[in-house]
Structure 1
Amino acid sequence: MTGPLLLLLAQVAASPSTPAEPKDVIVVGHRAEKELAACLARNCPPAQEVEASLQASVEQFADGRYGDARKTLQNAISRNKRHAAELPGPVSSLYATLATVAEHQGDKDLWRTASRNNLLTLRGQLGESNAATLTEQLHFADDMVGLGQPIAADGIYGKVQRLAGENGRSDLAAGAAFRRAWLALAQQRDRDAQRYADQAVTLAGPGDAMMPQLREIVRTRIAVRKGDDAAVDALAARLRESAGAEPVLIYAPPIADVNAPPSEKPQRDDAIRFADIGYWIRADGHVDDVEMLRTNGLGQWKPGIVRHVTARRYAPLRLPDGQPGLYRIDRFTVRATVDTPTGTRLRQRMGNLSVHVIDLTGTEAMSAARRTAEATQRATPAQTMQP
């Protein structure tokens, strides 16, 4: 139920990036790891080391070496958490990236803990009402959705909406309200979804062009659920006049259930499977040329995931003449959750398999330098009521 929520939020919140060919994204070799080793060997300053650790972990993650990425980040946190006062953004980025790795590994406890520590680092150094803290609190709530705690997530969204409004950050307040709308939509609480979407538009103000579009997406999803198959095409036609340069997801069908029937399900499934799916988003918002760039044990789930990506629909794009579209690569990880079964202290993978998605073309946004720059910009009081 919550997968489409997190996927849409990730697409809407994505930072602007230059379209890249597959060769610019799929990591070959261990360049960043070597640079980290050299940095540590010369005892480089903490800011450089954190950045090198983040880059190395992103390289390892993209290469499918989740365990190595986790170790790199945990070691970097151990060495640098004492520098949180002078490097709040970079240190919080270590925790945020570790939370992403833990999600794809299936370690719910580490996912939750790392996400919380990311928030606590900024809250302790910058204060609860700081814009950077409020932004990470939204991300923490997003993680609570992924961890299956929608009630807790809604409460956090509501808190951020209130604090942001009280501190003149209508952009963050609107973002929180929209998240509440999409969460309500995922729970089939259509009236609440429309109410929160209306609040988001009001909070964003008349100068905001994005939030009314997002409200239309909420209304379209409700219409599709009620059987209006033409609603997506109608919305795309309305949005064509206000096309933007960044992809905004209008519709994504549920990913097919990856679990075997109960009679065929094994007691345990210790594997972590993943695939990298490349695809073009054309100017009209349709997805084209979907291909499996790399797979590691995905097997019978490949066709369903390819169908899911192919069926996505984005808002129309405003592109330079001659540009074929925007190229994206998504990492799909299929894994069970690590937990401790009754009667033992040994943690192991157990329960149903689930699918977790991240845009590999956006992993550069994990870097400390970029996140710090964004945090600095967010920490500056807004001059207008626009986001």
Structure 2
Amino acid sequence: MPASETRARDVVVTGVSLASLKKAVDDCLQSHCPATDDIVRSQEYANGQFALGDYAGSRETLRKARHRNARYASSIPVEVAGLHRATGRITGLVGLPDSEQLLMIDAVDALKAGLNKDDVRVLLARLEVGDAYARDRRLDEAIERYDTVRSQARRLSLRPVEGMAMLRKAVLLSAVASTQSIYNGRARAAVKEIQQTSDADMAPFRNACQLIQVQLTRKASERDAAFDAAIARMEPLASTRPTLLYSPPVELAPSIHDLTANSDTPWADISFLVTPDGHVGDVQLVAKSGHLERQWLRPVIQATSQRRYMPMALSGSTGLRQTVRYSFVGDLVARSGSHLLYRSPTPRVVSIDMTPDSNYLPLKDG
């Protein structure tokens, strides 16, 4: 599971107009509303801006809310941490991964300002710092964070959190090993450590490792049948919601355009049906930015069609409709010998689940 999808509800698309969401923020500020209300309304407005593709506007809304409310961390740590985290995610999506990482660290500090340092929410926020490093391809820093959280979780007997940290490490090393074979040994060792567990809390992580092993050992032509066999061996988990098991990496060719620092982040929303047996069908492009390069759409649609989900008990149903936003993030970098910034021509692909909760209702036959 890609780190970028471990928290799927960054964005909620609602039927409320963007103008109404902005008015709610303005009214709140005019009435000197409590910080909790300011944070909620600002995040709702920023979510709406993001859903419509206004990444810069979304970031500015969150930055202003953060400036107003960061000082309340000791009294409302969870809310302030959520604001830091949301600001960090959108900051990463506009091509500033270093700033994203710092904001994720701010989220940890906000939680520690009002919660015990051993609170499970602090540990989960530390995992997200590791995820931010992983998205920026900073392997050593990400693994260091995951290992630290694992040790803390073990000391506190938080077995599921320990499993999350172990799986993140295994997934990251396996992803790197797919293009750099020198990491195969470390990836297999991380997988083996999870597979050697036997307690029920680790069952979801053992299941995930069966698919990682397929990726490490099977040729692409044999992979689909190998996935079916691995899923059949998995320990059963009761679920009627799509649980992502495998999402192939998206490989993109460099941009044919010179992307300036002022260029917006291109994006595409892909809708698809997850069938009861965990396969994907009926993949459709439902929305996109106006400046998305056509050469990038085909690999995204192909990767989406190759996703695999945990089988679900959906009697009389064709499956569940999902929507994923793919953002094509060109990080801001300096040209050699110049202080001018430009965007990397080969973007990172970041995916976020945009499925409204109503879409979890099974789509009936006919």
After TM superposition, the score normalised by the length of structure 1 is: 0.81
Match of 2:292 among 292, 298, 308: 298
Match of 1:186 among 153, 171, 175: 175
Amino acid at match of 2:32: N
Aligned residues, how many? 348
SS at the partner of 2:331?
A: strand
Residue 279 (structure 2) pairs with residue 286 (structure 1): yes
Amino acid at match of 1:275: A
Deviation, 1:72, is 0.8
Root-mean-square deviation over aligned CA pairs: 2.8
> Contact 2:130 / 2:146 at 8 angstroms: preserved in 1?
yes
**Comparing 102-111 and 201-210, the one that deviates more:** 201-210
Deviations 1:81-121 (A, max 9, x none): 11101111111111111111112111223212212211222
Q: 1:361 to 1:26 in 2, by over 3 A?
A: farther
Match of 2:82 among 93, 116, 121: 93
SS at the partner of 1:361?
A: coil
User: For 1:164 and 1:155, how far apart are their aligned partners in 2?
Assistant: 14
User: For 1:194 and 1:362, how far apart are their aligned partners in 2?
Assistant: 37
**Comparing 324-333 and 58-67, the one that deviates more:** 324-333
User: For 2:64 and 2:119, how far apart are their aligned partners in 1?
Assistant: 28
Deviations 1:353-375 (A, max 9, x none): 222211122799xxxxxxxxxxx
> Contact 1:161 / 1:177 at 8 angstroms: preserved in 2?
yes
Q: 1:6 to 1:69 in 2, by over 3 A?
A: same
Gap regions ≥5 residues in structure 2: 178-182, 359-366
Match of 1:77 among 66, 76, 83: 66
**Comparing 305-314 and 62-71, the one that deviates more:** 305-314
Partner of 2:148: 159
The 5-angstrom pairing of residues 332-371 of structure 1 reads: 332-361=326-355
Residue 294 (structure 2) pairs with residue 315 (structure 1): no
What fraction of aligned residue pairs are identical, expressed as a percent? 23
Q: 1:233 to 1:141 in 2, by over 3 A?
A: same
After TM superposition, the score normalised by the length of structure 2 is: 0.85
User: For 2:259 and 2:352, how far apart are their aligned partners in 1?
Assistant: 28
Gap regions ≥5 residues in structure 1: 365-387
User: For 1:54 and 1:363, how far apart are their aligned partners in 2?
Assistant: 18
SS at the partner of 2:200?
A: coil
User: For 2:351 and 2:240, how far apart are their aligned partners in 1?
Assistant: 22
User: For 2:26 and 2:308, how far apart are their aligned partners in 1?
Assistant: 43
Partner of 1:169: 158
Deviation, 1:42, is 1.3
> Contact 1:271 / 1:335 at 8 angstroms: preserved in 2?
no
SS at the partner of 2:2?
A: helix
